[in-house]
Structure formats: C-alpha cells, structure tokens
Amino acid sequence: MTSLPDIGARRRRTDRVARTMLALATGLALVPLVLILFYLVKQGLGAWSLSFFTTDPNGRFLGDPGGVRSAILGTIEIVALASAIAIPAGIGVALYLVEYGRDGRFATTVRYFVDVMTGVPSIAFGLFIYITLVLATGFGGFAGWKGSLALALLMLPIVTRSAEVALTLVPDSLREAALALGAPRWRMVARVVLPTALPGLLTGTLLAVARAAGETAPLLFTATIVKETTANLAAPMNSLPAQIFSDVGQAQDQLVGRAWGAALTLVLMILVLTTVARLISRRSRLA
Amino acid sequence: MSFQPTETDMTEPPHTARPATAPPALAVASGTGKRTAQTQARSVSLRNLHAYYGDQHAVNGVWLEFPANQVTAIIGPSGCGKSTMVRCINRMHEEIPGARAAGTVLLDDLDVYGEDTDVVAVRRAVGMVFQKPNPFPTMSVFDNVAAGLRLIGTRGSELRDRVEHTLKAAGLWDEVHDRLHQPGIGLSGGQQQRLCIARTLAVEPEVILMDEPCSALDPVATLKIEELVAELSRRYTIVVVTHNMQQAARVAESTAFMLNGELVEHGPTERMFTNPEDSRTEEYVTGKFG
C-alpha cells in the first residue's frame, strides 16, 4: 500500500490557529449586533401596546405620553414620496449610463458625481433643503415634502449605483438578440433589459428605501418633529427617526421607553423591506 | 435590378433572377404572409467592404456574393474577421462602441448602408443566430418566438398560429408543444439554439446569418441544426460562419475562406476542399494551420 507524503505538524498547527482566529473574529463581530437586537426587543416590547400604535404623542410631560401613530404614518408618507422621486430618476440615470452614455466623457463625469454624492453626509442634504426651501420666502417653512426631497437626494446615488450594476449584469448577447430582431433601442430596453434586470433593480431599490427610512438628519430641519398625524405633505410631518431623536433625550422614563418602542418599530419595518429584497434576489438566482 | 451570382464556375447555379414584380424597396415583414415551401429570398453582395474597431482594420476590402436560397459558409482561423464581416450585413457591427464599416452591402439592389435605409428594417430582413444560444431569460418558449412578432404588431390567434408554424419550421414543435409556457432557458442547449432560430424565423427574414451556431453544442444537437439549415435554405439565403470545416462541407453550397481580414478564395464548397486555387486555402483546409 502506498501512502501520501505526510503533512507537517507545523502546517496542521498553523491551520488550526488560523481557523480559531477567524471564528473568534466572527464571534466578536456578532456581539454588538446581538446585544443591540436583544436590548431593542427587551426595551421596545415593553413600550408596545395597542395605544402605542393608535395614538399620537400628546406632549404631556407627566403620565401617558401617547403613541407614535403620527411618526409611523409620517415615515411611510415621506419615504413613499421620496421613493416616487428617487427611484424613477435613479433608474433613468442608470439606464442612460449603461445603454446610451456607456464610456463617453459625459457618462464618466456623471458616474463620478454619483460616486461623490454617495459619500455626502446625510445632514448635508438636509441642510441644502433647509437653506433652499425651508428658509425660502414665499413657500418657506417646514413641510413633509421637503423632507421627502432631502431623502430623495440621499437615495438618488444609491439607486443609480445599484441599478447600474443590475443593468450591467444583463448579458450583451441578449441586447444583441433583441436588436438583431429589429427592435428599436428603447424597445430592447423595455422588453428585454429591464425585465431581465428587474430582480436586481428591486433589491437595490428596496435597500435604498430601507436606508432612507432610517435617516434622521435630513428630516430634522425639513419635515421637523410634530405631534399630530397629517396626510398633508405640505405641512410639517412627524417621522420615526425624528420622534426617537426627540424622545430619547427626555428626562422621563415613559418618553425614553417610547423611543425604544419606536426604534423597534423602525427596525422591524426595515427588516421586512430587506427580507423582501432578499427573497426577490434569491428567486432571481434560481431562475 | 437584381443580382446574379458572378461566379462562373458554379457547379449548379440554381438561381434565376428575381421576378420583375419583386418589391423594389425593403418591405418590412407585414406579419401576415407565410413563406411557401420554396420562396425566392434576396441575395447579398459585399462590395469592397471594410470594417474597423477603432484603429484596427478587421475586414479589408471584401468583395463577395451570397446567392439567394443558398448556404454559404465562411471559414478561417480565429480573428480573421469572418464574424465581423457577417455582422456588417445586418449592421450589428456598428453597435460596438468605436466600430464602423465602409463600402457597400447590397440586399438585392437595396443599399444596406444607404442614407434612406432604416437599420431596423434591415435587421428584420436579415435575421441573425448567435454563437451561444441566447433565449430571453424572462420569457417562456412561446414568448421568445413571439418577441419579434410582437414588435411588428402581430396579436391574438394570428400570433399563436405563427408561433406554432415557426416552431414547426425550426423542428422544435414536437419537443416543446406541451411546455410552451415554461421558461425558454429550461430547454437543452441544442433546443435553445433551435428556439433562437425559430425566434429569428418568426419575423420572416430574407437572409439568415449564423455566427458559429453550433460551437456551443454537442454533435447530436449540431447535426439537428445542420439538417435544419439545409431545410431552411429552400426558403432563405443563409450565411454560416464556422470553425468547423466538416460542417462547411456538410451544409454549404459555396464556401469562402478568409485570412487576416481579407477574402482569400471563394467558390463551390467541393472545389474549395478538393482543389483550391490558393495555396493558403489548401494549407488551411488540409489542417496545416488555423
């Protein structure tokens, strides 16, 4: 019987040490994540009740401070409007970059600015809207739609970048097949490129929405913090991150508790969005 | 006017001139007519065709006739410009950034690169099958075939009839009739390629360009495609780019040999393989290089 050459003891030892280190590093990274989730659930669930979701903050400093209905609905309204602005615009820019601009000078410049915008701190978008729209004469003042605009600016580069990646992943052979059939370019994009890239577009878009839903800074001095529920995007509008920001600094346990409850609500809303994005992208891999 | 093959030494010149009543301009497939078993297709002629990728001169002054209702094979080593040349016929070459073509391509008497010629109309008249099967992944078998038809506005029961008719013409109907609404990419490689051929046939082109259609397929699937090509040549003018010289010998009436962007020799397939005039052709077909 032949035998394979022996693997040195030193090599086996190195392997074991390296593996242990990697496991330790992974464990270490998981600690804060688990702690955050644990605290969030522990503290947040305590604040939850039916009235937590069905009443607005009432501003009372003593006794029951009210729920976060206006914040939940405000977040949904503001983010919905922001998405309605940023998603079509972002996918449009990406379509231009991938299908028409390609490697031209203009497209390269646009790509560069999109990258720069991705790195702009979110508070800068809020400031920009504050200076140009909130302080403006005539239609000045805080309003939900201004918060939406600030979030849309924040989402635009994220949507553009992720959509660009999704569109680039569509094989050129499919574009050629469509063009060779005599499809005009716009038709090729609409019938072949967009449907093929759809799962990727959805995933990237939902992640951008999730990111925007959790942003505080762009909302603080655009949509600001109010108590009452409103469907009027022209009026100041409450939101979950702003509500948390306001509550957590208060010297009253019930207000701090409400901040925890609101944080748990927000995390769950984002978790649902992210899970949906995951499911969509997994389905596309199977196809 | 119509084009006659200029080769005088054709063993069997099967072509008569296009009837004088033939439409002079490029008629975009109307979506109604069905090609009969034997239909006069259009011939293609290249006159001093040059093609470039930026500064690189990929096709250098090719003069070549593709007679109607014949299969012409283009052979030559990798990078000799054969795919590029073929892609100039349906103007797919210009889709590549930095690529351009010069010279004349005629579809019968229609100038493919003419100022008044619509590139979309050219591509409907000149269909293309690619090297790797590329069915649209989001579409079912049915929708893949229907994709081109929908572009020209075919709807309803007519669409269903045409899809069935085309799948039968592509020899795929018996294999897929019970899974028309399943994804096209669920088929085997050979079936996918025949699906792509069906997709091309559906819009009733006059000319079909095949760019190494069997290079990703196994021998059995290759044989089926070759049989299909022979069958289709009764109705279409076919140009097959191939790496495989046996394939050229099996399917093509005439063969053109290209080297370094130039056309070295062109003639009836049998003569090209048994008694070529140019020594480079002989070296290539006998396997001395390439």
pLDDT in tens, B11-31: 444 444 444 444 445 544 444
The phi-psi region of residue B76 (left if phi > 0; otherwise alpha if psi is between -120 and 50; otherwise beta) is: left
State the best of B93, B107, B136, B215 to mutate against chain A, taking most chain A CBs within 10 Å: B136
Cα–Cα distance, A237 to A46 (Å, whole number): 26
CA distance A123 to chain B (A): 40
For B192-219, the pLDDT digits (tens) are 999 999 999 998 899 999 999 998 888 9
Query: Cα A101 vs. chain centroid, distance in angstroms?
Result: 27
Q: What angle do CA B211, B214, B217 make, to 5 degrees?
A: 145
Instruction: State residue B3's pLDDT score.
Output: 43
pLDDT number for residue B22: 42
* Lookup result for tokens 């196994």: B218
On whether any CB of chain B is under 8 Å from the CB of A191, the answer is yes
Which of B28, B95, B203 comes nearest A181 by C-beta? B203
Tell me the backbone φ, ψ of residue A179, rounded to 5 degrees.
Answer: -65, -40
Q: Closest partner residue to B151 among A175, A181, A198, by Cβ?
A: A181
Query: Which positions in chain B touch A195 (Cβ < 8 Å)?
Result: 138-139
| Cα separation values, B168 from B113, B165, B197, Å | 34, 5, 11
Distance (Å) from the alpha carbon of B171 to chain A's nearest alpha carbon = 20
State residue B37's pLDDT score: 52
- Residue A174 with chain B: CB contacts under 8 Å: 134, 136-137
C-alpha triplet B80, B83, B85: angle, nearest 5°: 85
pLDDT over 90 percentage in chain B: 67
The CA-based angle A216-A243-A276, given to 5 degrees, is 65
Check whether B290 has a pLDDT greater than 70. Answer: no
CA distance B136 to chain A (A): 6
Which residues in chain A have Cβ-Cβ distances shorter than 8 Å to B137?
174, 196, 287
Spell out, as residue ranges, where chain A has pLDDT lower than 50: 286-287
Report the pLDDT value the prediction gives residue B14, as an integer from 0 to 100: 41
At residue B239, what are phi and psi to the nearest 5 degrees?
-120, 120
Q: Do the Cβ atoms of A70 and A265 come closer than 8 Å?
A: no
CA-nearest of A260, A246, A240, A269 to A40 is A260
CA quadruple B74, B79, B85, B91: dihedral positive or negative?
positive
Nearest Cα residue in chain A from B204: A181
- The CA distance from B148 to the nearest CA of chain A, in Å, is 6
Whether B44 and B106 have beta carbons less than 8 Å apart is answered as yes
| Residue B171 neighbours by CB distance under 10 Å | 18
Instruction: List pLDDT tens digits, range B96-137.
Output: 888 999 999 999 989 999 989 999 999 999 999 999 999 999
pLDDT in tens, A21-79: 999 999 999 999 999 999 999 999 988 989 899 989 888 877 788 889 999 999 999 99
How much of chain A, in percent, has pLDDT values that exceed 70?
98
| Distance between CA atoms of residues B233 and B240, nearest Å | 11
Q: Nearest Cα to B266, choosing from B91, B53, B85? A: B85
CA distance A159 to B1: 55
Cα(B125)–Cα(B209) distance, rounded to whole angstroms?
11
What residues have CB less than 8 Å from A283, skipping those under 6 apart? A199
| Angle at CA of residue A209, ends A206 and A211, nearest 5° | 110
Question: What confidence tens digit (pLDDT) does each residue in B42-54 have?
Answer: 899 999 999 999 9
**Among A103, A177, A191, beta carbon nearest to B130:** A177
Q: How far apart are CA B147 and CA B156, in angstroms?
A: 13
pLDDT of B243 reads 86
ipTM of this predicted structure: 0.81
Q: A180 and B128 in contact by Cβ < 8 A?
A: yes
Per-residue confidence (pLDDT) for residue B21, from 0 to 100: 44
Query: Helix (H) and strand (E) counts for chain B?
Result: 10, 10
Distance, in Å, from the CA atom of A268 to the CA atom of B207, rounded to the nearest integer, reads: 58
Q: Residue B64: what are its φ and ψ, rounded to 5°?
A: -160, 140
Residue A37 structure tokens: 């989730």
- Residue B128 contacts A, CB cutoff 8 Å: yes
Query: Are the Cβ atoms of B200 and A180 closer than 8 angstroms?
Result: yes
pTM beyond 0.90: the answer is: no
In this structure, what token pair is assigned to residue A90? 């972002």
Which residue does chain A place closest to B91, by CA atoms? A180
In whole angstroms, what is the distance from residue B163 CA to residue B147 CA?
10
Closest CA to B218 of B253, B193, B255: B193
Question: Measured between beta carbons, which residues in chain B are less than 8 angstroms from residue A286?
Answer: none
pLDDT tens for A272-281 read 988 888 888 7
Within 8 A of A181 by CB-CB distance, chain B residues are 123-124, 127, 147-148, 151, 199-200, 203
Q: Residue B7 — very low, low, confident or very high, per pLDDT cuts 50/70/90?
A: very low
CA distance A177 to chain B (A): 7
Q: What is the pLDDT of residue B227?
A: 92
B247-288 pLDDT, tens per residue? 999 999 999 999 999 999 999 999 999 999 999 999 998 888
Cα of B256 to nearest chain A Cα, Å: 23
Residue B141 is encoded by which pair of tokens?
Answer: 């078998």
Alpha helices in chain B (DSSP H): 82-89, 119-125, 141-151, 156-169, 173-176, 189-202, 219-232, 245-251, 269-274, 279-285
CA distance B287 to B290: 7
Instruction: Check: CB of residue B83 under 8 Å from CB of residue B99.
Output: no
What residues of chain A lie within 8 A of the CB of B92, using their CB?
176, 179-180
* A185 inside 8 A of chain B by CB: no
**Cβ pair A174:B134 closer than 8 A:** yes
Beta-strand relationship, B254-259 and B71-75 = parallel
d(CA A197, CA A201): 6
Question: Does A5 contact B at CB distance below 8 Å?
Answer: no
Tell me the average pLDDT across B139-156. Answer: 90
Q: Mean pLDDT over all residues of chain B?
A: 85
Phi and psi of A108, rounded to 5°?
-65, -40
- Pick A179's closest partner by Cβ from B92, B136, B152: B92
Strand pairing report for B99-107 and B44-53: antiparallel
Task: Provide the Cα torsion B104, B105, B109, B110; round to 10°.
Answer: -100
Q: What confidence tier does B38 reach under pLDDT thresholds 50, 70, 90?
A: low
The stretch B156-170 carries a mean pLDDT of 92
Give backbone dihedrals phi and psi of A119, rounded to 5 degrees, phi first.
Answer: -90, -5
